[in-house]
Structure 1
Amino acid sequence: MKILETLVKEFNLKLKNVQNAVELLDEGNTIPFIARYRKEQTGEMKDTVIRELSNRLNYLRNLESRKEEVIRLIDEQGKLTEGLKEEILKSESLQRIDDLYRPYRPKRRTRATIAKEKGLEGLADIILNQEIDEKEFKEVLITYIDEEKEVYDEDDALAGAMDIIAEIISDDAAYRTLIKNIAKSKGFIEAEGVDRNERSVYEMYYDYKEPIKSIVNHRILAINRGEKEKKLKISLNIFDEDIINLLKTKIIKSSENITTPYLELAVEDGYKRLLYPSIEREIRNNLTEKAEEEAIKVFSLNLKPLLMQPPIKGKNVLAIDPGFRTGCKVAVIDDTGRLLDYTTVYPTEPQKQIDKTKSILKDLIKKYNVNLISIGNGTASRETELVVAEMLRGLEENVSYMIVSEAGASIYSASELGIKEFPNLDVSIRGAVSIGRRLQDPLSELVKIEPRHIGVGQYQHDLNQAKLDEALTGVVEDCVNTVGVDLNTASPSLLKYVAGITTRVANNIVSYREENGKFRLREELLNVKNLGEKTYKQCAGFLRIPEGDEPLDNTSVHPESYNIARELLNVDYQNADVLKISKELKVGVPTLRDIIREIEKPGRDPRDEMPKPILRQDVMKIEDLKKDMILNGTIRNVVDFGAFVDIGVKEDGLVHISELSDRFIKHPKEIVKIGDIVKVKIIDIDINRGRISLSMKG
C-alpha cells in the first residue's frame, strides 16, 4: 500500500486508477493495450504516463526489496539496532540504503581490515574516545606491540589504529550525507585541457569551472566525452580544507587530549584517501545519470514526431542517396514501395556529370510517372539538391523534392533484413530505396532500424545503451500501436512492435500469410503458431484488415467490443446522450466514445492530422539569405540549447533557446518538436562558418 500511495502522490493521480494500472501491469497486459482498451480502469491514462508509472513502480519495489535484504544482512551480524532499522525503512533512495549499509558491508582487504587482523581495533576505540591521559596512553600503547602480528613498534600500532579510524569516518552515513550536500550546494566541477595548445572541439573546456548545482546536462555529457577521449581532466572542487575542518569539529571533543593529533591525522587521511574519491565518483555518477536520463527523454521526444510524420500516399518516388567519389545512387519505387528501377549518377565532384545526370533523372521521371524526389541529407546532399532543383525548373511535369534524414539507412542496407528484402542489390542501392520509402511511410520504414540509430538527439553513443534502447523501443511501440498495422502487408519489423507480439510470433504471422494467403478475419490469428488467446487479446485491436470479411476488423475497435459496436449501429448515437447510451449498452464512456469515433471514420490514420511536410521545387544558397528575412522551415532536431531548422539551404539554422519564445522556457521541447513546420526570422548569418541564427519570437 505504501508504494501505491507514493505513486499517487508523485503522479498526482487517483488511488483507484493507480491500483488498477498496477494490477493490469502485474497481470501481464502490455502498456499500449492498457492505454487503449482499459481507459475506464486507469482514468484514461496516456501510454507515456503508464510507462513512467511502470518504471517508477519497478524502482520502488526494488527499493523495498533492498531494504529487507540490508536489514537481514545486518541482523545476521548481530549489529541491527532499532534506530538503524528505522533509518533504513524510511530511506527514499537506493543510494541512501547503500550509505547506511556501508559500515556493515563485507570488505575486500583494506588497510583497516589488515589493522583489525593485527588486533588494533581496541586502540582505535581509545583514540576515538579521547578520554585517556598521557601516562595511561603510553602504557596501553605498549600492549599492542606484537612482532608475530607484524606490529613492531608504537608507530606501527598508531598507524594501524588510524587506518581503522579513517575507514570508520569514511563509512559514516551522516558524514557522507553532510559532505554530499555541501558539494551539491557549494562545490564546482572543473575541467582543464590535457594539452592546452591542441585544437579540438573541447577548447571551451580547457579552463572551465561551473557550480555543480547549476551545470546543465548537455555540458556534463560533453566533458565526460572529452575526458574519455583524453582531451580533458575533470575534478570536483568542494573546498577540501573547509570540509576537513568541519569533520574535525564534529569528531574531536578535546584539543588537549594526547590522542588528538592522531585523530586529526586520521580525519585528514579518511577524507583525502577514502571519502573524497568515493564522493567524487558518486556525485559524478549522479550527474551523468541525470544527464543521460534527460538526453534519453529528448531522444524519445524527438523520435515520436519523426515516426508520426504523415505518410505521402499514392506517389511514385525517385530516391537519391547522395555521394561524391562513388556517385549518387538512384532508386525508383512505386506508391507501394516496390523497386521499379535503379542506377548511379555522378553530378558531384570529381566527375561533375551534371547534364548527363539531369538527362537520366528526366528520363526516369517520365518513364515511371514520378511525382516526388527524396534526397538523403548526408554527404553531398545540398550539392545534389542544387542539380535536382535546376533540373526541375526545365521540367514539364509537376515534381517536387524533399530532403529526408538518412540516419541509419546504411545500417538497414547491410542488415539481415535489407539483404533478405533485396538479396541481389548493392548495399548502397538498398540505402536509396530506404530513403524513398521514408518519404512514403516513415513509420513502416524506420522500424526496420534499431531506434538508437535513427539519430534524433545528442551523445547517443555515450549513453547507457540498455536504457536508451528500452526508452526508444517504448516510443516506437506507442507509435506503431497508435497508428495500427495492416495485417496483410506489414513486415515482421513492424509487427514485432504490436502489443503482445514477439519477433518470433511476427515471423510466424508472415509465414502463415505466405502459406495461406491474406487474412480475411482477425480471428484467423489464433491459427498462427505460438499466438494464443492471451497474445490475441493484446494485439487484435491494433491489427487492421482493410478488405476483410468483417468491417470492424479495419477499425481499432477491439473484438471484445464488437457486440457493443453492432448494437450502436442501431442507435442514433450522433444525437443521443453518450452517458445514457453507455448505461444502456453497459460500456464505459471513454470506450464508447472511441467506438463511435471509429464507426464514423473507419481505418483513420492519426498521422493524417499532422502538418504536411514542406515540398520544394527550388533551392536557396546561404548567400541568398538576408537579415530579417522571414521563411518557413521544418524542425530537424531538438537539443537542450535550441532547435535546428531546415529552411532550404545547405546548412540548418539554429533557433537558440532564448529565441524560441517571448516567454521563459526551461527546454526547447516546451515549444517545438521534430517535424513541426515553423515560421522563422533570420537574425544573423555567418557565411564563412556556414552558421545561420534564427528567431521564432513574435
Structure 2
Amino acid sequence: MARENEEQLSALARPVHQQLSQYRVQQIQAVLTLMDEGNTVPFIARYRKERTGSLDEVAIREIEDEANRLSKLNKRRQDVLKTIADQQALTPQLKQNLEHATTLQQVEDLYLPYKKKRQTKATIAAQHGLKPLAEWLLTFPQENLDARARQYVKPEQDLPDLAAVWDGVHEILAETFSEQAAFREWIRHYTWQHGELTSKLRRGAKDRDEQQVYATYYEFNQRLNQLPPYRVLAINRGEREKILSVGIDIDATSILQYGHFRLVGQHKGPAVAKIEAAFADAYKRFLGPAIERELRRQLTDRADEHAIQVFGNNLYHLLMQAPLKGKVVMGFDPAYRTGCKLAIMDANGRFLTKQVIYPHKPASGKQRAAAGPAFKQLLEQYHVEMIAIGNGTASRESEEFVSDILKTLDHPVYYVLVNEAGASVYSASANARAEFSDLHVEERSAVSIGRRLQDPLAELVKIDPKAVGVGQYQHDVPEKALDEQLDRIVETAVNQVGVNVNTASPELLTHISGLTATTAQNIVTYRNDNGAFASRKELQKVPRLGPKAYQQSVGFLRIIGGQDPLDNTDIHPESYSATRQLLQGLTAERAAIGTPKLQQELAQLNQDKWAAELGVGRETLADIIAGLSKPGRDLRDTMPAPLLRQDVLTMADLKPGMELQGTVRNVVDFGAFVDIGVKQDGLVHISQLADHYVSDPSVEVTIGDVVTVWVLTVDENRQRIQLTMRTDGHD
C-alpha cells in the first residue's frame, strides 16, 4: 500500500482520531513504513515486534484501515478543491474548512453548494435575476418589501406578478439554507440524538408475513442512538420485503427554533416571516428527507460493520477449535432415501475407504438389517476411534443408530456431532473434484465432515466462509466488505497456527503470509515431484517463490522431522544464527529443543543480558525462547476439546432444570446457540448467559466453548429450546 506523500503519513501518525489514539506516533509510522516495504500483516505482527512495539494483527489492521480512509478522504478533498477553484469560488475560509475536514461527510457538505445539479426552481429563479433580491432580503430591510420586489416583475421572464417574484426568492432561499454545511451538521446531530426510528406494518402486508417474523416491528419505535445493530438489519429486511413501512420521527420545533436563531436572531421587520418560511420549507422538502436518508444509511453502515465483526469473530473461533490429533476418524453424512455415506480417515487425515449404509426408512427391511453389521465391521476393521456425525438431515436418527452400535463394542468409541454447514458446497467444488475425482459428491461430504473433527482449520479453509453457518444477517451486508473481513480472519488464523508444509493442501497454503494461489500450488507440485521437504531452505527451490515471498512465508511453514529441529518452530530463519549462539552459550544441542531441562534453563535466562549479547531485540529473544521451549506448538491445543458422546438425547428427554453440557455453535447479538446433543440447538438468551449483566455475548462465550447449561423451556411443536447458564435460580 503505497503512501501518496509525506503529508498523509504525518496526518495519520498524529493520533487525533479516536480509533488510533491508543497508538504512539512511532508505532503508526513503523506500521506504514513496513507495509510500504511490502510486508504482510501476519509477518509484521510476528517478526517485527521491535519496530511496532508488539502490535498485534488487529492493531495493524486498524492502522491500515485508517490509512486507507485518509487516503480516500485526501483524494476526495483534492478533487473538491480543484472543482471549486475551477469555478473561481474557492475563498480562503472555504479552503481552510475543507483542509480541516476529518470525514467525507464534512467534505460533501461543504461541496454541496458548488455541486453541479439539475435544473431546479431555485436555479430558474436565479436565472431570472432574483438572486440579488434574495440577498437583499437577508439584510432584514425595514422598508416596504413589495416596493423593491416590483422592480423584478417581468412578464416576459415568467415573473408576471409579485407572487411569482416572491415564490422565486423563496425557492432561492430554501435551496441556499438546505446547502449550508453548518445547518446540515447541526440538524444531523440533533436528529441522531433525539429522533426515533419507527416501523409499521404496511397495509395488506400481514399475509406476506405468515410466520410473523416481523411481528415485533409492526408498531415499533426506538431512539436512533440506542438501536442495536440486529434490529436495524431486521427492520431493513422487513422494509425490503415490503412488509414494513419505516421512517424517522423527530419533533421539528427545536430545529425550526435553531433556524430562527441562526438566520434571524434579534432582527425584526417584514423580512423575518419570509426567511422563517423559507427555512421551514427547506427543512421539510430538502434538509429533513436528506438527513433521514443519511442517518438511515449511517445506521445501516454501522449495523453492517457490526454484523461483519460478529461473523468474523465467530469464524475465527470456529477455525481455532482444537483439532483431534492422532485419531482414526469416520465421517458420517446422514440421509434417508440415499443412505448414509461413510468415509474413514487415518490419524493423518488420509482417506482410507468409503461405504454407504441404509439404516433408516424408506430403505427396505433387508437394507436396514444389514446396516448395523456393516457399520460395526468398518469400526473394527479400521480401528475407528471417533465418529463425526453431520448435524443435518437424519442426524438424530443416525445418532441413535450409532449410539446403539457403540453399546455393543468391547472397547470405547465416541461420536461427535459436527456442524456440516458448507460441506455440500465444498463437495461440489472444483477443489473437491480434483482431490477426490473418483468419489461422489455425498461421499466427499463424508470426508469433509470427518476431517473437520480432525483438523477444523485445514478443512474449513477449503469452504467459502459465508457457507459455514456462523453469521448473523450475513446475506444482508455488503458482500465485498464481508469477503474482505473474512479473508483477513482466515489469514490471521492460518498464520497464527502455522502449517506442516509437507501435508498442507494448496487451499491452506494460499492463506500463508506472502504466498499466492500460484506459489501455493507450486509448493505442492514440487513436493509431489521431489518428495517431502527436508528443510525450510529447500523452499527456495520452488518456482516463483522469490526472496520476498520466502521471507514473508517461511516462518509460518513447519518441517516436522526434518534436518534441522529449528524448522519445526516459529523461529524465523533470519534469527537462526542468534538462536544457535544462544544454544551454544547454554551448551545445549539442537536435539535438546523442547526438553524439560532446556525449558528450565531458558526460563531462568537474564533476557536483557542475552538480548544485548546476541544483538536482537528483547521481543525477538522472547519469541526464540518460546520456540525452543515448545517446538511445533499449536495455539489450538489450549482451546476446549470437542465434546465426546456415546449415548443419544432427544427433545422428549429434556425437562426444565436438567443440567447438560453443550458446545457453543453460534454467537449472535441476542445470545448464543448451544448444541446439547439433540437435533435442535438451544438458545441461551443474552439475559441468561451469566449471573451478571451482559452487553456483548461474545465476551462470555465463543464458538467451540464447552459450557454447562440448564434447560428452561422446551417447545417440541416449534422445535425451540430455551437454556440458561445462570447459576442463580435456574431450577
- TM-score for both structures, normalised by structure 1: 0.94
Q: State the alpha-carbon separation in 2 of the partners of residues 668 and 467 from structure 1.
A: 23
- When the two chains are superposed, the root-mean-square deviation of aligned CA atoms in Å is 2.4
2:236 aligned to which of 195, 215, 224: 224
Report how far residue 144 of structure 1 moved.
4.7
Deviates more, 1:534-543 or 1:484-493: 484-493
Q: State the alpha-carbon separation in 1 of the partners of residues 470 and 52 from structure 2.
A: 31
Structure 2 residue aligned with 1:446: 460
Letter in 2 for 1:416: A
Determine whether 1:187 maps to 2:187: no
Tell me, yes or no, if the aligned pair for 1:487 and 1:545 is still in contact at 8 Å: yes
CA distance 1:408–1:141, shift in 2 (3 Å): farther
2:622 aligned to which of 550, 571, 593: 593
The number of aligned residues is: 696
Structure 1 residue aligned with 2:637: 608
Q: State the alpha-carbon separation in 1 of the partners of residues 664 and 265 from structure 2.
A: 64
Tell me, yes or no, if the aligned pair for 1:322 and 1:380 is still in contact at 8 Å: yes
Report how far residue 457 of structure 1 moved.
1.8
Structure 1 residue aligned with 2:307: 295
Tell me, yes or no, if the aligned pair for 1:412 and 1:431 is still in contact at 8 Å: yes
Structure 2 residue aligned with 1:486: 500
Determine whether 1:95 maps to 2:105: yes
Report how far residue 205 of structure 1 moved.
0.8
Determine whether 1:511 maps to 2:546: no
Letter in 1 for 2:241: E
Tell me, yes or no, if the aligned pair for 1:641 and 1:657 is still in contact at 8 Å: yes
Letter in 2 for 1:272: K
- Secondary structure at the aligned position of 1:569 is classed as helix
Determine whether 1:314 maps to 2:343: no
Determine whether 1:339 maps to 2:351: yes
Q: State the alpha-carbon separation in 1 of the partners of residues 636 and 265 from structure 2.
A: 71
Structure 2 residue aligned with 1:178: 186
Structure 2 residue aligned with 1:42: 52
CA distance 1:321–1:159, shift in 2 (3 Å): farther
Report how far residue 222 of structure 1 moved.
0.7
Letter in 2 for 1:165: L
Tell me, yes or no, if the aligned pair for 2:674 and 2:684 is still in contact at 8 Å: yes
Letter in 2 for 1:671: E
Letter in 2 for 1:267: F
Deviates more, 1:178-187 or 1:423-432: 423-432
Structure 2 residue aligned with 1:272: 284
CA distance 1:355–1:281, shift in 2 (3 Å): farther
CA distance 1:326–1:109, shift in 2 (3 Å): farther
Report how far residue 7 of structure 1 moved.
6.4
Deviations 1:383-415 (A, max 9, x none): 322222222222334211111111211211221
Report how far residue 436 of structure 1 moved.
1.1
5+ unaligned residues in a row in structure 1: which ranges? none
Structure 2 residue aligned with 1:465: 479
Letter in 2 for 1:503: A
Tell me, yes or no, if the aligned pair for 1:119 and 1:144 is still in contact at 8 Å: no
Determine whether 1:3 maps to 2:32: no
Determine whether 1:357 maps to 2:350: no
- Secondary structure at the aligned position of 1:683 is classed as strand
Deviates more, 1:12-21 or 1:121-130: 121-130
- Secondary structure at the aligned position of 1:331 is classed as strand
CA distance 1:131–1:449, shift in 2 (3 Å): same
Tell me, yes or no, if the aligned pair for 1:546 and 1:553 is still in contact at 8 Å: yes
1:168 aligned to which of 171, 176, 189: 176
Deviates more, 1:669-678 or 1:104-113: 104-113
Report how far residue 94 of structure 1 moved.
1.6
Letter in 2 for 1:52: E
- Secondary structure at the aligned position of 1:213 is classed as helix
CA distance 1:114–1:328, shift in 2 (3 Å): farther
Q: State the alpha-carbon separation in 2 of the partners of residues 142 and 241 from structure 1.
A: 36
Structure 2 residue aligned with 1:583: 612
Determine whether 1:521 maps to 2:521: no
5+ unaligned residues in a row in structure 2: which ranges? 1-9, 587-600
Tell me, yes or no, if the aligned pair for 2:196 and 2:222 is still in contact at 8 Å: yes
Q: State the alpha-carbon separation in 1 of the partners of residues 395 and 184 from structure 2.
A: 54
Tell me, yes or no, if the aligned pair for 1:8 and 1:18 is still in contact at 8 Å: no
Letter in 1 for 2:23: L
2:449 aligned to which of 435, 440, 443: 435
Report how far residue 482 of structure 1 moved.
1.0
Determine whether 1:106 maps to 2:116: yes
Report how far residue 567 of structure 1 moved.
1.1
TM alignment of 1:197-276, pairs within 5 A: 197-198=206-207, 199=210, 200-240=212-252, 242-244=254-256, 246-248=258-260, 250-252=262-264, 257-259=269-271, 262-276=274-288
- TM-score for both structures, normalised by structure 2: 0.90
CA distance 1:517–1:118, shift in 2 (3 Å): farther
Structure 2 residue aligned with 1:26: 36
Tell me, yes or no, if the aligned pair for 1:653 and 1:692 is still in contact at 8 Å: yes
Tell me, yes or no, if the aligned pair for 2:149 and 2:162 is still in contact at 8 Å: no
- Secondary structure at the aligned position of 1:119 is classed as coil
Tell me, yes or no, if the aligned pair for 2:140 and 2:267 is still in contact at 8 Å: no
2:392 aligned to which of 378, 391, 412: 378
1:542 aligned to which of 549, 553, 556: 556
Deviations 1:32-75 (A, max 9, x none): 00111011111211112211222122223433443344334333
Report how far residue 276 of structure 1 moved.
1.6
CA distance 1:481–1:150, shift in 2 (3 Å): same
CA distance 1:411–1:150, shift in 2 (3 Å): farther
Deviates more, 1:153-162 or 1:47-56: 153-162
Report how far residue 250 of structure 1 moved.
3.8
Report how far residue 248 of structure 1 moved.
4.4
Q: State the alpha-carbon separation in 2 of the partners of residues 141 and 450 from structure 1.
A: 71
Deviates more, 1:308-317 or 1:66-75: 66-75
Deviations 1:252-298 (A, max 9, x none): 46997555555444333322222122111110111111111111111
Structure 2 residue aligned with 1:656: 685
Q: State the alpha-carbon separation in 1 of the partners of residues 16 and 312 from structure 2.
A: 23
Tell me, yes or no, if the aligned pair for 2:420 and 2:449 is still in contact at 8 Å: yes
Structure 2 residue aligned with 1:675: 704
CA distance 1:551–1:253, shift in 2 (3 Å): closer
Deviates more, 1:346-355 or 1:535-544: 346-355
% same residue: 45
Deviations 1:349-407 (A, max 9, x none): 54486544333322322232221111112233223222222222223342111111112
Deviations 1:68-127 (A, max 9, x none): 443343333333333333333333322122112211222233333333334332333344
Deviations 1:199-231 (A, max 9, x none): 331111111111112111110011111111222
Q: State the alpha-carbon separation in 1 of the partners of residues 633 and 150 from structure 2.
A: 87
Tell me, yes or no, if the aligned pair for 2:259 and 2:276 is still in contact at 8 Å: no
Structure 2 residue aligned with 1:387: 401
- Secondary structure at the aligned position of 2:398 is classed as helix
Report how far residue 137 of structure 1 moved.
2.8
Letter in 2 for 1:345: I
Deviates more, 1:81-90 or 1:310-319: 81-90
Deviations 1:495-548 (A, max 9, x none): 111011111221222222233332222223223232211111111111111132
Structure 2 residue aligned with 1:646: 675
- Secondary structure at the aligned position of 1:655 is classed as strand
Deviates more, 1:473-482 or 1:107-116: 107-116
Tell me, yes or no, if the aligned pair for 1:310 and 1:607 is still in contact at 8 Å: yes
Deviations 1:310-345 (A, max 9, x none): 111222222122234444333223233333333333
Q: State the alpha-carbon separation in 2 of the partners of residues 90 and 387 from structure 1.
A: 69
Report how far residue 652 of structure 1 moved.
1.6
Determine whether 1:67 maps to 2:73: no
